[in-house]
Chains A and B, each alone.
Chain A
């Protein structure tokens, strides 16, 4: 339960006789941001792993004392304070956390969770656990971006095929090697699984299993990678491909085909030398060809044209071209929100259905994001000193968007049906959508991935872009001209 170095010194800095510090977390509104709403996810992991049960022990207090003595070159560590937690509360944190249910979709600029101490002696604890709780930015941001991908994929899939079948397998998590640590892989991987069920990030599955009660949250297919192709030598790419097909004759298989020349591989190897073997495969054991270099859109257009020439295609019920069911393509290089939209748009312009495509996303899904992506912030909004409550806030003249909310907060649905945050303790408890999830060392709510997935599923309005525009505008205006 590390704090940030200087958090250790904060207990000395609050006004005398402070008895409560109440803070909250939000994804602040930011003008011109492409993300107007967020998926709330990941708190349960942090609670279960780091905050539940007796987290303070005498051993840890001693370690910390020694450590901070050296780190600050002086004694600033509040040994007595921490020992009191141990003695009075058995090492359990006297903290209450209220939060939006996981998986819920909440517009920017709203309170997502609040933290307060439940014992007046431990007012400094709220701020101490801040740094760890701010790391919520990560699973929230991954889950949000993953869902944005889903909206784009749904839009194109609906338009070019008439249905959303297979949507939740359309975006494969390729991010394992590109994240900064195993733990991030697990957390990010799990966040993606809120929206999809295809992943190569093992750790995410295990995270979902252990912290969100989901025995098997996602699936994958056998796949080649460059080493398994190039190890055959430059002149034996066909043999390498053939081997993969033979080894995995039932079930889909993905074969990276750009080790030397993707176009040659498609035209002369898949489309000619191995054409029969490809055609023998059933829909349930299709070959998925994977380009992995060059401009994604251009490469895909050329690849799909070559495949059309070699294998033919058919028209689906809405008049778009589909490759034979034994053949598909996965693009796993250079994919982000912009490129996936461009690719599918271009394909659609050329008459191709999104059914032909799968996508893999690596760093854009799990690494190429940061706390500023959704402007995540944790701020103190209310304190009690000498028995009196006071609404507090920051409001820097140099940046109004960094202003924070005031007083005790609640989240409710207003009469227009929009979610809004009520400040200054003015909210009615019965309308409050924030739920106590953690209290005095115990987990009070336990969400399963199944529930979370339900909460996070795409709504009809999001699936139907034409009808949705007007409401989107309303919501957009509501958020960005919102209450403060």
Chain B
């Protein structure tokens, strides 16, 4: 039983950096449950248990199973009225899954043996498809005979359209399509983070334009504070990278590792941060020494922006007395490139932000910009990093606008809402079978539950096209072959164990950037 050497986590990233080194040394990491470095990291074992048994359930003489992924539209929504519609989604994260779990040799004889044993125990029965996996091992040297076609990463596509398709390429391996489903459905997460992050970018863009006349600094207006609030290291990496599709400020270092390893950028790093205090570095000085703490920290970082959490005891006193009076001299000498960024961290977000701005506005000379909104002097700014989600973000920027404060004054940090408070239901991400070949005949298949029309799935072979007017349309039942709508926007990205098309993170960002037309729409 070969055991891969334990890949220790680095100071930067978990397993990802370690694996870079492994690849450089010419070792070829296998797919599967990498993060557990367990003997059973194998395509055979790494999934949803019941999928183990599906190979026996398809119609006899099935030679192909074809499935697709979409973010379903929700046509009727009786129970909830969401403020945010999420009409379009950002497609992102497939490349990570392909590289990490599906490419190359994912099966070995040892893994088959072990999986067989695990499943025997788990089902108390012999259900494991040993024959099927052995076939893959022998005929394909353990590579998966699967073809995946997908829209380019970073594409912004309306709900209800096909985003990628998966089909088996060998008649003996019809069951494989469904096997890879569970790992592929986890793409819901990077898609949802990137989409939610982008919707917030639209809100920030709108208010920044309205209150300042330009979009300078937009990419640093929403900082990723989510590291501590996600469910695992791996999630941190994926989620943080998804946020960086739209922004450049992050404290979730793991995201940068994911981008460098699985996408690549022309810049040395895709995300940045600034020195920041946190409560322990303030409270460690003792309650009566908050000013000493502030002073010490601000002096440690004279020539870069520094963020200092100021609510350990009384945010308003800190702003008025300490920043506004005792240490004012120190702050005023800072340059525009190295502002003090005051960070409240408790209380009602909008009320707190407005009150902090009011106090700082009294203590420091504000100016009116070309749009008639107030701006603090360039050496002092505010960051609100508590309780920020897409709804409170909207409330805060609207509240600031009403009180004539420019959005130039503020940046936001978001943690749980950015990276964790999301589920597969938010965008109704779904993977469904739409076409099978049985006895040589292709059949369009679908589900259509009587009690929920929203859960109906698409039929047949699918393709994605652009209409004359520039809209997207998904053609079902193989109609894309008729070439009425021009080329299929889905490209083959994975074929029989090889990744055949990749996107750099720069391309992803380019595809996802806000369009002129969207900005115009926002302002009206």
A interface, CB within 8 angstroms of B = 1-7, 9-10, 12-15, 18, 21, 23, 49-50, 53, 55-57, 59-61, 63-64, 67, 70-74, 76, 82, 127, 130-132, 134-135, 137-138, 176-184, 186-188, 199-203, 205-207, 209-210, 215-216, 218-234, 236, 239-240, 243-244, 247-248, 250-251, 254, 258-264, 292-295, 299, 362-363, 367-368, 370-372, 378-380, 383, 385, 390, 392-399, 402, 404
Contacts and interface: CB of A to CB of B under 8 A. Distances in A.
Contact of A183 (B35, B273, B449): B35
Contacts of A70: 268-269
B40 A13 contact: no
Contacts of B346: 396, 398-399, 402
Given A224-B57, A258-B451, A6 B273 contact: yes
A260 B423 contact: no
B383 to A, nearest CB: 12
Given A2-B236, A72-B275, A183-B233, A220 B38 contact: no
Interface in B267-288: 268-269, 271-287
Contacts of B431: 177
B188 A178 contact: yes
B9 A55 contact: yes
A222 B123 contact: yes
B313 A182 contact: no
B452 A293 contact: yes
Given A13-B296, A220-B50, A293 B59 contact: no
Interface in B407-429: 415-416, 420-425
B516 interface: no
B450 to A, nearest CB: 4
Contact of A4 (B40, B227, B292, B304): B227
A21 B280 contact: yes
B229 A1 contact: no
B375 to A, nearest CB: 24
Contacts of B311: 394, 396-398
Nearest to A216: B121
A55 B38 CA distance: 19
Interface string B431-443: 1110010100001
B313 A396 contact: yes
Interface stretch (B10-18, B467-475, B494-502): B10-18
Given A184-B231, A206-B36, A248-B56, A263 B304 contact: no
A404 B299 CA distance: 27
Given A5-B252, A203-B33, A244 B57 contact: yes
Pairs A-B, 5 closest by C-beta atoms: A294-B451, A398-B347, A227-B433, A380-B280, A183-B234
Nearest to B424: A178
B229 A182 contact: no
Given A6-B273, A127-B278, A392-B284, A261 B450 contact: yes
A2 B48 contact: no
A111 B251 CA distance: 27
Interface in B125-159: 125, 127
A30 B286 CA distance: 26
A66 to B, nearest CB: 9
A134 B251 CA distance: 15
A413 to B, nearest CB: 29
Given A180-B239, A225-B178, A250-B125, A231 B47 contact: no
A230 B435 CA distance: 9
Interface stretch (B179-187, B203-211, B364-372): B179-187
Given A12-B301, A218-B122, A262-B451, 7 more contacts: A2-B254, A82-B11, A176-B47, A209-B38, A222-B125, A260-B448, A371-B416
Contacts of B466: none
A221 to B, nearest CB: 7
5 contacts: A5-B250, A10-B277, A135-B233, A179-B189, A264-B450
A188 B231 contact: yes
Interface in B37-87: 38, 40, 45-54, 56-59, 62, 65, 67
B253 A71 contact: yes
B448 A220 contact: no
A181 B186 contact: yes
Given A239-B59, A402-B346, A371 B228 contact: yes
Nearest to B292: A15
B227 to A, nearest CB: 5
Contact of A21 (B46, B233, B284, B450): B284
Contacts of A261: 449-450
Nearest to B174: A231
A240 B420 CA distance: 38
B33 A226 contact: no
B431 to A, nearest CB: 8
A394 B314 CA distance: 10
A362 B81 CA distance: 23
Contacts of A228: 54, 57-58, 178
A206 B62 CA distance: 32
A67 B254 CA distance: 11
A245 to B, nearest CB: 10
A370 B229 contact: yes
Contacts of A5: 250-253, 273
B445 interface: yes
A274 to B, nearest CB: 15
Nearest to B316: A397
B235 A183 contact: yes
A207 to B, nearest CB: 6
A199 B189 CA distance: 21
